[in-house]
Structure 1
Amino acid sequence: MTGGRMLAGRTALVTGAGKGIGRATALALAREGAHVVAVARTAGDLETLAGEGDGRIEPLAADVRDDAFLARIEAMSGLDILVNNAGGNRPRMMVDVDDETLDWMIDLNIRSVYRVARAATRVMGSGGVIVNMSSQMGHVGSPKRTVYCMSKHAVEGLTKAMAVELAPRGIRVVSIAPTFVMTPMTKGMFEDPEFKRFVYDMVPMNDLPTPEDIAESILYLVSPAARFVTGDSLRVDGGWTAR
């Protein structure tokens, strides 16, 4: 899906767009002709992103957890695509997870995803698409990721329920479930040789996807080619969850 303008005339909102998957997705959507509102907390990341977007990326420095940001979504004249990408993780053994970490992850990975999706549906019309960022961890379990797995399983449940509820309005809702991707958030993890070996041993393809690989999968989900796909999760995991 390169070189075309299949999303010309459409408006997309991408959260967590400053780095990694979100950044690659914003660029991919802009390349296909969409007007992209790119959201991140760091203005500097957004400035460089806008500079790469050929005039189709509008930077918006905001925290997805803030009421003011939700109000800005609801004030939009229309929205065709939401990539609900912002999220985070603090890997720890379950017995070591303190309440502050628990609350932070629930707030960012579940509550904010729900509230942003709710705001988006209030301004989205027929033909709209919402892509919630899940993970392979929304389908399996893994050590040091009890809270993360819980949050991504919640995203999968939210995606299914939204898809059923919004289908009569002509809005599709899907999730994307990558395996580990080499991003600024995960780079430090792979400096641990034992962790790196564990991950590669779990992926039958013995490789990791790039942020651009995930962005291309998201392009499919928001494209006309996925017209009849809703309530489902696209696992871009190199076969991890097929074991």
Structure 2
Amino acid sequence: MTRLSRRTMLCTTTTVVGLSAGCLADDTSQPADDDGDDATDDDNSSPTDNTENNPDPVGDAIEDVPDGLADGRTLTYQSSTSGEPDITVLRDADRAAEWLDERGSLRNADAVATFIDATDFEMSILVSLSDEAPTPCYEVVLEAITIEAGESGDGDSSASKPKTSDSDGRNADEDETLVLEAAVHETAEDQVCAQTITTVGRLVRVTFESEPLTTVSATLVGHDGSTYGATMGSDSGSASASSTVESEWGSGSDRQSSDS
């Protein structure tokens, strides 16, 4: 058996240690590269491009809006309290906040608050239509939304005349009226609901192509066929103007058509 010299053993040991160190270095470097790749992939991944900054709007879109309107959305709401039929026009954020505070028992108050916050009152108004229902299985349905021309000074109706606009796209006829027709309907006839008096309502957001019209007329038919109508006109075109209201009760058979 050949006996290794001390010099040979030292050289051999040094070589083995060096090779081992090189292998270890290669092994530890690979995870670092993987981590770097993963971090880069994560930074560029699609979750950061989601719709957090553009959440889905609250409420339902009005599919067919008349000429003169840019957009329309509605949101239903309910309250466990009873109340008379009500039609309210909200022309500025402060009045809308007061309206919401007065209805603290709304079952979807957070959604209503979000709906109000998303309203640009420079170009939009909110109209609240509400009435009493015998059970929570009712809702206010917006059946029609139109813009009607007013009457001319000689008493002839101009409703049949085409609507004209000036060079800025604003309505040339200052007597135009936003007209809403709504009714209280049962949500599901075969659904069993407890007999609990409930106030049901719908908040309608109307966005105009130019500044909002100053006159709003609305009709609400109750679940029993009774009709409540209101015409609201602001004293000026400003958002802070107060509104005057003329209302009248009538039976369902006395309801006037919006075409008349």
TM bin, normalised by shorter chain, reads: under 0.3
Structure with higher strand content: 2
Higher percent of residues as helix: 1
**Which of 1 and 2 has greater Rg?**
2
